[in-house]
């Protein structure tokens, strides 16, 4: 059995409830897309890079509307959320050629959700050997590209 070991995320998990705001609502409200790591905006959904990624290119898709329960999403929201996941995987494939993806919803704190009151979908590109000794032995995650550079490339490559 393989295990995903991500000790660098502990910083985020410990502070997730202390921020006071909602990262998805803040991003959806507008402002500087580069600063907020926004990749793409739609009528019902927004896509943004994960500030604490499991792998380079790890992005999230969330409804524009603040909603905490998956079952409360509208048909239009569900459709746009999944279209954004699909489009983002296309942009990742074009730019970085991942060999696979982890795609999923963490619904509820017990399921690993860092933000429990605004549902969001994770898309994590994967490559053979992308999990190595660095995070396990040195408590260091190696990301080969700065988040801002990844954001710029993905936002530019995003299908219209």
Residues serving a catalytic function are: 120
**The three-state (H, E, C) secondary structure of the chain, written as one string:** CCCCCCHHHHHHHHHCCCCCCCHHHHHHCCCCHHHHCEEEECCCEEEEECCCCCCCCCEEEEECCCCCCHHHCCHHHHHHHHHHHHHHHHHHHHHHCCCEEEEEECCCHHHCCCCCCCCCEEEEEECCCCCCHHHHHHCCCCCCCCHHHHHHHHHHHCCC
């Amino acid at each position: 059995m393989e295990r995903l070991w991500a000790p660098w995320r502990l910083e985020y998990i410990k502070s997730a409830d202390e921020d006071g705001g909602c990262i998805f609502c803040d991003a959806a409200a507008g402002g500087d897309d580069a600063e907020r790591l926004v990749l793409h905006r739609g009528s019902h959904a927004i896509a943004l890079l994960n500030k604490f990624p499991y792998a380079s290119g790890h992005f999230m898709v969330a409804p524009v509307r603040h909603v905490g329960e998956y079952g409360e999403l509208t048909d239009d929201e569900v459709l746009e959320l999944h279209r954004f996941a699909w489009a983002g995987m296309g942009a990742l494939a074009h730019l970085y050629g991942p060999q696979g993806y982890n795609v999923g919803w963490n619904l509820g704190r017990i399921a690993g959700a860092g933000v429990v009151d605004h549902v969001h979908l994770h898309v994590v590109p994967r490559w053979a050997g992308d999990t190595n000794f660095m995070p396990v032995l040195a408590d260091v995650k190696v990301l080969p590209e700065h988040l801002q550079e990844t954001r710029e490339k993905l936002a530019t490559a995003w299908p219209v």
